[in-house]
Amino acid sequence: GTIYHDEFQQRLKSVLKDIKCSNDSFILFIDEIHLIFGDKINQNTNDAADLLKAMLGRDELQCIGATTLDIYKEYIEKDPTFETYFQQIFVEEVSINDCISILHSLKDRYELKFGGMMT
């Protein structure tokens, strides 16, 4: 809803301002990057998206954004300027067998960290 979108916008703006004031290099990862647009995709009132675009355009920031292909087409492609700052990389879902292998490889670490037993 609006509360979550507004909270996301404020947090992102705060992070971007901190990055801008820093002398360090950053790669920002934004899961569900389409949330920066919210319901305002066709309006010019989106401060967080505009700030992110400006920083990307000035090479002040590198960014990785994650979303689904359908949502990419619905939001990101509708903003050609924003889209130019990203390259699509398709990541397939892992198979059940691969998932089990991954979990088994993490078993010892997870048991130690969470104090449980994984079978």
H-run or E-run covering 64:
strand 62-66
Cβ-defined contacts of 54-61 (< 8 Å, 24+): 55/16, 55/19, 55/20, 56/85, 57/85, 60/19, 60/20, 61/16, 61/19, 61/26, 61/28
Amino acid 2: pLDDT:
52
State the pLDDT at residue 42: 44
Q: What is the reported pLDDT for 69?
A: 92
Give the pLDDT score at 38.
Answer: 65
Domain boundaries, the chain: 2-88, 94-119
CA dihedral 2, 39, 83, 47 (to 10 degrees): -60
Distances (CA, A) of 36 to 10, 44, 54, 85, 98: 10, 13, 14, 15, 33
In this prediction, residue 3 carries a pLDDT of: 63
pLDDT digit string (tens) for 71-109? 999 989 988 988 999 999 999 999 999 999 999 999 999
DSSP 37: T
Determine the pLDDT at residue 75.
Answer: 87
Tokens for 91, please give them: 């990541």
CATH code, residues 2-88? 3.40.50.300
pLDDT bracket for residue 12 (50, 70, 90): confident
- Orientation angle between helical segments 47-57 and 2-21, nearest 10 degrees: 30
Bridge partners of 28, per DSSP, are: 63
pLDDT value, residue 105: 95
pLDDT, tens only, 17-75:
898 888 888 899 999 898 887 655 445 456 778 888 898 999 988 999 999 999 999 98
